Amino acid sequence: MKSKPLSNEHAVRRHPAQDGARLEAPGEDFAGRMTDEAHRCARELSASAPFEKDGKAMPVGAGAEALAAVMNKRFGEMAPTVTAWCAMLAWSEGTDASYRMWTDVFKTVRAAR
């Protein structure tokens, strides 16, 4: 008796698009891409953010509004989620000043909605 080759075809969730094509459902791959983009954006924007010399976070009016505008323009409706990921990344890396800055940016992004 010959066995069938193993396949992960059953594990792929697909749904029909309006034109009849089969598309993968947004799931882990989509979340992974958004997380990667959030991390990249967080590092890029944090590197360009002007921190005070003593390591304190920027005041809300100084940089949070500018960064919130960048996040809204770059990520649109996903800006609050991506900004929250940026804050979580800063928290997990243990940088208090960066975490405070990103939570201020998150508050500004949410207030604009």
Residue 90 lies in a domain: yes
In a domain, 98, yes or no: yes
Domain that holds residue 67: 27-111
Residue 96 lies in a domain: yes
pLDDT in tens, 51-81: 554 555 554 445 788 888 888 888 888 889 8
Q: Identify whether 4 is part of a domain.
A: no
The answer as to whether 43 is a domain residue is: yes
Q: What is the C-alpha end-to-end distance of the chain, expressed in Å?
A: 62
Looking at the domain assignment, is residue 106 inside a domain? yes
Q: Rounded CA gap, 10 and 50, in Å?
A: 50
**pLDDT attached to residue 57:** 52
Please give the tally of structural domains in the chain: 1
Residue that wins the pLDDT comparison between 93 and 47: 93
What type of residue is 102? W
* More confident site: 26 or 111: 111
Spatial distance between the Cα atoms of 70 and 8, rounded to a whole number of angstroms: 40
Residue 1 belongs to a domain: no
d(CA 98, CA 37): 18
Give this prediction's pTM: 0.54
Q: What is the pLDDT of residues 11-55, one digit of tens each?
A: 445 555 566 555 555 555 666 676 677 767 766 766 665 555 455
Q: Let me know if residue 93 belongs to a domain.
A: yes
